[in-house]
Amino acid sequence: MTDKNTMIQFRNCRLLHDGLVEKHQLWIRGGKIIDPEPVFYMEKVKPSLVVDCNDALIVPGFIDLQINGGYGYDFSSEPDRLAEALQVVSKGLLRTGVTSYCPTIVTSPPHIYKQVLPQLGKKAGGVHGATVLGAHVEGPFINPEKKGAHPAEHMLTFAEGPSVLERVYGSLDNITLLTLAPELPGTLEAVAALHDRGIVVSVGHSNGNLEQGEAAVQAGASFITHLFNAMLPFHHRDPGLVGLLTSKLLPKPVFYGIISDGIHTHPAALRIAHRTHPHGLVLVTDAMAALGLGEGAHNIGQLAVEVRDRRAFLPGTATLAGSIATMDECIRRFIKAAGVSVVEAITAATLHPAQLLSITDCKGSLNPGTDADFLMLSDSGDTLGNIDILRTYIAGECVYEKTGVLPLKITPVT
């Protein structure tokens, strides 16, 4: 751990910046990325440390907006163990390249929300684990006909008005992202109220048609939860929520989540979505308790889950119940399945989620002034997706290093 005023120069590296990979240097001080030119010309100081990066690719830290748990812990089912769950998952995510995330709470009874949400406030990351950006609440205002791994008995509508939000959740203070079905009674008024509170609203787990989706976006929604999954399939006479990707009635294009784990979304569907609206694509894992553990019996929220052949199912059914994929795995699969570049894939896990949450001033890029949350990767230099996480940094501090990786040469400047 270096002093907060220590200036560090990372050289002999390639940086992902403004959609390009360029041979450049990265400068940090006080946990932030800085522009070195004013330092030289105005402060007339040199870096305290110089780090030789061995030609590593440096990219922003990944941001996961939908993760239900991992490493044996579920965020929705055991409020008494939530602090432990956050500690274990936040730490485990560092090796996958995730430096910021939204713990996701699936449809639950009100007493669970009132115990869980107060524990999910924003928390800065560090050697203890990834930054918590606030909760993603997925339900209970979703359609039972598209429930997926959500218990239908706890689902609600907004028929009594937006006041039901406080009654169900207790407080909205720690909610960053909220998924709802746009076709439910009273939804548009609720969307407007949530938008006014600064909460990002997503449409999903829905039987809604395109017109209902457009109305929700016009009211303030800006995201689609795991596109193609738990919604009406695309039809040429009613494209459903998928049609939002090309709607001409919206004030601005929406963002949409994609689970690129090789299971939830066919490679052709990945290509269709990306080629239709590349700048809105946000990679999410939708990972659950089995992340990092493998096959066997687990749970997601109030429901049991069985993992077999890399797939998480509700027992005795073919209903998928989240994934066990890591973000770096999703990026590699996306590159190979959709034929996109490393830059495009990483941008979908960094800049795009930061844009959705309006946090580009501090996350999602390597721009001067942003938090020094970044990764050192080895890569093949092509589109084959052969990326490997060597080191993870949060606020300029190395918080994860792959076992056996070639050590960095760090030179003090006198």
Q: Which residues are marked as active site?
A: 286
Q: What is the DSSP letter of 237?
A: T
Judge whether 138 is annotated as a binding position. Answer: yes
Judge whether 205 is annotated as a binding position. Answer: yes
Cα–Cα nearest to 20, from 317, 309, 343: 343
Q: Are 165 and 137 in contact (CB under 8 A)?
A: no
Q: Which residues pair with 376 in a beta bridge?
A: 58, 391
For residue 330, which phi and psi values (nearest 5 degrees)?
Answer: -60, -40
Judge whether 237 is annotated as a binding position. Answer: yes
- Reported in sequence order, the residue ranges of 181-219 that DSSP labels E, i.e. its strands, are 200-203
d(CA 299, CA 216): 31
d(CA 71, CA 88): 7
What is the C-alpha end-to-end distance of the chain, expressed in Å? 19
Q: Are 360 and 354 in contact (CB under 8 A)?
A: yes
DSSP collapsed to 3 states, 361-378: CCCCCCCCCCECCEEEEE
Judge whether 12 is annotated as a binding position. Answer: no
Token digits of residue 41: 């010309």
Cα–Cα nearest to 238, from 268, 206, 264: 206
For residue 198, which phi and psi values (nearest 5 degrees)?
Answer: 80, 15
Judge whether 264 is annotated as a binding position. Answer: yes
Judge whether 165 is annotated as a binding position. Answer: no
The DSSP result for 56-124, as a single string, is: EEEEEPEEEEEE-EETTEETTT-GGGHHHHHHHHHHHHGGGTEEEEEEEEES--HHHHHHHGGG---B-
d(CA 185, CA 156): 10
Judge whether 229 is annotated as a binding position. Answer: yes
d(CA 60, CA 337): 22
The single-letter code of the amino acid at 332 is R
Which residues are documented as binding site for substrate? 149, 229-230, 237, 264, 320-322
Annotated binding residues? 138, 149, 205, 226, 229-230, 237, 264, 320-322
Binding residues for Zn(2+): 138, 205, 226
